[in-house]
């Protein structure tokens, strides 16, 4: 299992547009085969950094998922919405593997 972390630099004056974008992915991503953890928008501190996080089985599964998402009408429209509104200034994507699982539980004395 891999976790995809997407770091966005967003226009601080278009946070609501990013939130709309994130809500749409909240429906489209799970329907197209990834396990969405969530989208996170600025609340306190930096007003320009946001994140999207989801799990995917493998890089091969990711490629198939991306193809399904690009073919999905909701996914295509969301990509177009982002291009049209230009609220995403930069996007970086990284895939990480959880190497601490299983996690130890704190045992109370």
Burial 61-88 (b: 16+ CB within 10 A, else e): ebeebeeebeebeebeebeeebeeeebb
Sheet holding 2-10, edge to edge: 35-40, 49-56, 2-10, 88-96
Range of 57's domain? 2-96
Residue 64 placed within a domain:
yes
Residue 7 placed within a domain:
yes
The enclosing domain of 30 has a CATH number of 3.30.70.100
> For position 45, what pLDDT does the model report?
85
pTM of model > 0.75 = yes
Residue 51 placed within a domain:
yes
Report the share of the chain in percent with pLDDT over 90: 85
Q: Which parts of the chain sit beneath pLDDT 50? A: none
> For position 108, what pLDDT does the model report?
65
Work out the mean pLDDT of the chain and round it to a whole number. Answer: 94
> For position 105, what pLDDT does the model report?
65
Residue 52 placed within a domain:
yes
Residue 108 placed within a domain:
no
Residue 105 placed within a domain:
no
Q: pLDDT tens digit string along 30-53?
A: 999 999 999 999 988 889 999 999
Residue 101 placed within a domain:
no
- Structural domain count of the chain: 1
């Amino acid at each position: 299992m891999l976790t995809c972390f997407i770091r966005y630099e967003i226009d601080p004056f278009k946070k609501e547009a990013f939130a709309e974008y994130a809500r749409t992915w909240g429906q489209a991503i799970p329907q197209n085969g990834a396990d969405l953890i969530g989208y996170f928008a600025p609340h306190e501190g930096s007003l320009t950094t946001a994140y999207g996080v989801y799990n995917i089985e493998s890089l091969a599964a990711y490629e198939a998922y991306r193809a399904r998402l690009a073919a999905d009408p909701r996914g295509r429209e969301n990509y177009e919405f982002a291009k049209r509104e230009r609220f995403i200034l930069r996007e970086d994507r990284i895939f990480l593997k959880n190497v601490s699982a299983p996690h130890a539980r704190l045992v109370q004395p």
